A and B are shown apart, each in its own frame.
Chain A
Amino acid sequence: MPRRFAKKVKSMKNGTIKVGGLARVEGEGGLYLKIKGGTVVDVRLEIFEPPRFFEALLRGRSFSEAPDITARICGICPVAYQMSAVHAMEDAFGIEVGGPLRALRRLIYCGEWIESHALHVVMLHAPDFLGYPDGFKMAKDHPGVVERGLRLKEAGNEIIALLGGREVHPINVRVGGFYKVPTKRELAPLSERLKWARDAALELVRWTAVLPFPEFEQDYEFVSLRHPFEYPFNEGRLVSNRGLTISTRDYENEFIEEQVPHSHAMHSRFKNRARLPDGQGGYLVGPMARYSLNFDRLSPLAQEAARSAGLSPVCRNPFRSVVVRSVEILYACDEALRIIGGYEMPETPAVPVRPRAGTGAGCTEAPRGILYHRYRVDENGIIQEAKIVPPTSQNQAMIESDLRRFVQSNIGLSKEELGLRCEQTIRNYDPCISCATHFLRLHYESE
């Protein structure tokens, strides 16, 4: 039987909630939450995902290996790693990639958004709203919804597989462009599936719109890319709803990564901590930030679908991120169709690349938010230093802040219900722990 929303049983004045082995997130982590006298005194997102030291193992490797090596940070969003890596290297070498090659990069990124978002919306997040432990059990009562979700995911995978060679860790992305580019005729068959996917995404937006959402509007500082005329994928300036507008090269002047004892993942903050209401310097990246800062850049179809789903142009309720992700799937299908329709095969699969000594930065919109890479390379293009800041590290402070506030305002819930809602609060962010560890477990402990 599906579990329904909020039933009040025994209120929790004192105690500790621990979730060990958080499910339906990518990677290993948990939650520790301590309540004393009806007040939340400690919230920790614990990340035991073993560290893999990518920034260290990149040293001494060739610039050309960066897209293939960094893809291995995450099996769910390898394209994002490849994109940030190639843009950072191209920044270091003074290379511009335009025309159809730029369009193909945008197209493969559309594929990753569709694939990653569809998995999260239907298989990982929706079960929380409807009270199922997973998408498989949900499929027994909602077979059409789950099948449509998996087919949508497949549509995204098809784009990645065609342009990248395979869905996970694609092999065709290189600094300067691609190893091989498709002909117009090779690309065309994607359109049929994508037209179906666009309709399916529209239905998904309508389906998510009526899920039960708790009232939980938060005053976030959203950070995302903003481009003069496009919804952001690969390029743009970093902007926020509180006046930030910087070049991606200035990322490290504005933000800092800090280590905390309970986690193998870094926490990112504004260097100037006073910016945030709680004075901690946390900020939010990802679909809600992108959407709220770039609503005017969505296609008319996506804007209309968002409005019909009851979303205003700014979304501050993280539980509604499930609707925002669905709107982004719709946009990505629409955009992919536009790109395919206008595609002309470039003369060469890549622009010439001549390494030179220097430092380059790249920041692109991974499905979960901005992903920053910086490399210092020598005159032969050998990596001397690498810095990678994944979206989930940047969102950790906000996840902990959401948890603290959510628990504080729902302290009357039973232990079990509170634990489940905490997990959902975390899954609002589609956290990718594998990425952030360079990330989560909920334990429940009574005093």
Chain B
Amino acid sequence: MFNNFKYLVREGLRNAWANRLMTLASVGVLVCCLVLMGSAVLVSVNISHAMKWLQDQNVVMVFLNSTVSGSDASYTVSDVRNQILSVDNVDENNIEFISKEEGFQSLLDRFDEKLRIIDSLGDTANILPDAFRVGFKDPTRYETTVQQLKNLDVVYTVRDNRKYAEKLMGINKTVTVVGVWIVGLLLVVSLFIITNTIKLTMMVRKLEISIMKSVGATDWFIRMPFLVEGIVIGLTAGILSFALVSYIYSAATSAISSIMSAGALPYMSMIWWLLLAFVGSGVLSGALGSLFSIGKYLKDDGGVSGD
């Protein structure tokens, strides 16, 4: 049986090569499909990750109306701290003053060295107000606490992370819906093209198949080379799209991590899963395509002695 297996795999590879233009077309379409699918999944995964990060924080930034540091301070830091602590849900162990200079510095730190022309502007560029980072004791009373903080005279505004989370959720939904449609459509297209590629091989090998049938080849024996051809297409597409997405992702994350404090998920943490997913879905669609195309042909007992 092993002899046969080797023979059938070789036949499949021969098919793929003999038909290389169509094989290439199938691989191309499947790569497009897989790259889009992979990107959609990665974007979605990252948005979820960022969302979770934001929600886990349970912390808001409270920006102040008046300057409390420096020479022109109208309030002292401890005054304002006490005011904020008067809101009963504020966690006294999780409150931190961030002066406008510190805030500006940490903002600058997120950007690339080369982008820091702002440096040349000096202190005048700093338009950030002083702020407190405030943690809550009870996250369920989040909304009311934010409102209470906003009502304080010294408070200019409260950066509400939950609002970001909601926005992200919306983006995530859109990405998912659009992604599912694109992927679904492309999957149909690539299955169609793979099916046609295999059908073309079948046309070319019609005589061989009819002889196979006449000398008593089982369905699996006839199917194997076509299955191998489909799997070769799928495997090639899977590996290619994995490489492409890896490249795109690493390029994208280095850009994103500089502007998003949540940061992107590190690629290495999911590299094996991704490889498995890409190769798996490639092979699966290749195999399905070839089984679809030959299924009907095998069901028919005829075609042995020609027409």
Do A and B share a complex? no
